[in-house]
Structure 1
């Protein structure tokens, strides 16, 4: 079994360093499975503390156009659920916690217990399920408990106190705070509701809260990194891979973005201190 770093341990480590974590999202299989694995390695080497590996899905209702197009291309190229486990195993043990992000239908098709078993065996930290709420997650909660993998649920600015409390209780590793309502994608600014959402989620009992949806620049990363435990970035990396003339150039461009984002995060915490 690969060396396993849990999400909470990774976030504890970055907190001890006085900074937020850089959480990088990549869709597995874009443009090919090995390319996505190499991109993950490049992002870890460039400063990513956690990697979210997206399981390509045919109906990604929460994803913006950049990630939708990448997922469609990955599926067309033959990427399947098992490839995500292969990618987890390839990236585990490099110093970053490796999570999977997936809509729940592919997990149901795989079998929740089998997925939790294989994810743990590959060295994965846990699973982020954007369309699954704790009330309907009994089978996944049991499977994740049985195999010791994190289950990460989402909250949004519209989430009432009882929803925040339910998510905080059910989640392990961290809570994913969507900074705005709507689909993923880069934005010119991060929603002003994000900081309040992080605070409300902590008050509701969450040990770690990471913010995603919209972060794409060093300035935005610094802004979010000043109050969140982790800064989640996806579309900026995927766009770099998509727009590059070849996979090697795409990896270099994505790694450069990661270094810029880490510099923003690190600078924000130094200034705050």
Structure 2
């Protein structure tokens, strides 16, 4: 069983996202093991990129801060190696297809595997084009996570049957960001997936409160939170570890109840 599958075998998973290098890589190195200790089951690390098209303003600004602090993909790989000495929490990189191609796909996957990355999420890569990366995923033992959106409808079964690890269910249309309400019929979206394949489903995009997390966890196997955590990092900067971990504990307890 892969580390990703193991996460979902233990109950509802809480999956926080942080932008790596925001405010700097030293804070990221401290934050990841602390979040794991606070109850994070799987952690998404966003590789900062100058054109993050799926992201709202909160994560766009975090990417800019991370790049300004000198974060590079190579430095991030080194940071993850050091993180791996402190925790074995499953880690997923979230990035875009362009940075992978520019870095060199073979080199990117080899380095990701060497530092202990479990999965890759590429929001701007259509499912139909995943063959561009799948051979490297297979070669280096990294799971390529598929996304489905409320508009995927007739494609959901196709995407689900060809997926691995877990399905990232996008709860709302548009870019990432905190939302006061989530109106998508999540239950229906997930039932389409489960009809096609028995694979865990985690919901992300827009979830920020304990109430939303609790509601979403009634339908899903995991809850993903990004912008709300990145906002805490923006507010507290290098002192964000404690407030972020307090938030992680709250959210984990909301979905475990």
Instruction: Give the structure 2 partner of residue 155 of structure 1.
Output: 148
Aligned in 2, Cα 1:229/1:45: closer, same or farther, shift over 3 Å?
A: same
Once the two structures are superposed, residues 118-145 of structure 1 have per-residue CA deviations (whole angstroms, 9 ceiling, x without a partner) of: 1111111110010112211212011101
Deviates more, 1:212-221 or 1:164-173: 164-173
Change beyond 3 A, Cα 1:169–1:145: farther
| TM-score, structure 2 as length reference | 0.94
Which of structure 1's runs of 4+ aligned residues deviate more than 4 A? none
Which residues of 2 match residues 1-273 of structure 1 at below 5 A?
6-12=3-9, 14-15=10-11, 20-92=12-84, 94-161=87-154, 163-244=155-236, 246-248=237-239, 250-267=240-257
Contact 2:150-2:184 at 8 Å conserved across structures: no
Change (3 A) 1:142 1:169: farther
RMSD across aligned positions (CA): 1.7
Separation in 1, partners of 2:22, 2:200: 29
Contact 2:157–2:192, Cα closer than 8 Å, also in 1: no
Separation in 2, partners of 1:208, 1:116:
24
- Cα distance in structure 2, aligned partners of 1:189 and 1:42: 30
- Partners of 2:156 and 2:83 in 1: how far apart? 32
Q: 1:270 — aligned with what?
A: none
Instruction: Indicate conservation of the 8 Å contact 1:11/1:21, yes or no.
Output: yes
For 1:11 and 1:239, the matched residues in 2 are separated by 27
Contact 1:5 1:96 in 2 (8 A): no
**Matches of 2:189 and 2:166 in 1, distance apart?**
14
TM-score (norm 1): 0.89
C-alpha displacement at 1:5, in angstroms? 6.1
Q: 1:87 to 1:10 in 2, by over 3 A?
A: farther
- Bigger Cα displacement from structure 2, 30-39 vs 150-159: 30-39
